[in-house]
């Protein structure tokens, strides 16, 4: 009986963490939009970093490991390059990001 109760508490705790991370992500996006309006590069950087962190932690709480998320991002980036995404055609952003992910510098 105690084991079942502990499992229920763990599930409840995980659900609360997921809900908290969802609000953190929304908060980071809100901060990003405000920072863009103000034009503060440091605040923009802070908000972007918070959003990325929230996404990674949310993935983990949802049972998706960091490496799996990284692999999916790489796959999407490479597929978008092949499909000639507009940002790739116009600026080469996806190739630059692919190089970053692969450890190259551009």
Return the pLDDT at 8: 77
Q: Measured between alpha carbons, how far is 95 from 84 in angstroms, rounded to an integer? A: 10
**Average pLDDT of the residues in 81-95:** 96
Q: Measured between alpha carbons, how far is 26 from 29 in angstroms, rounded to an integer? A: 5
Q: Measured between alpha carbons, how far is 75 from 52 in angstroms, rounded to an integer? A: 18
Nearest to 80 by CA among 98, 66, 64, 67: 98
Q: Note the pLDDT tens digit of each residue in 26-45.
A: 999 999 999 999 999 999 99
**Average pLDDT of the residues in 11-25:** 96
Q: Note the pLDDT tens digit of each residue in 55-79.
A: 999 999 999 999 999 999 999 999 9
C-alpha distances (whole Å) from 55 to each of 1, 20, 28, 66 are 35, 12, 10, 10
């Amino acid at each position: 009986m105690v084991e079942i109760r502990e499992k229920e508490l763990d599930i409840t705790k995980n659900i609360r963490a997921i809900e908290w991370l969802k609000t953190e992500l929304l908060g980071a996006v809100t901060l990003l939009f405000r920072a863009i309006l103000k034009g503060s590069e440091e605040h923009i950087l802070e908000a972007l970093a918070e959003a990325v962190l929230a996404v990674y932690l949310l993935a983990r709480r949802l049972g998706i490991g960091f490496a799996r998320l990284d692999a999916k991002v790489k796959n999407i980036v490479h597929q978008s390059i092949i499909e000639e995404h507009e940002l790739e055609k116009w600026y080469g952003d996806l190739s630059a990001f692919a190089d970053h992910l692969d450890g190259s510098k551009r």
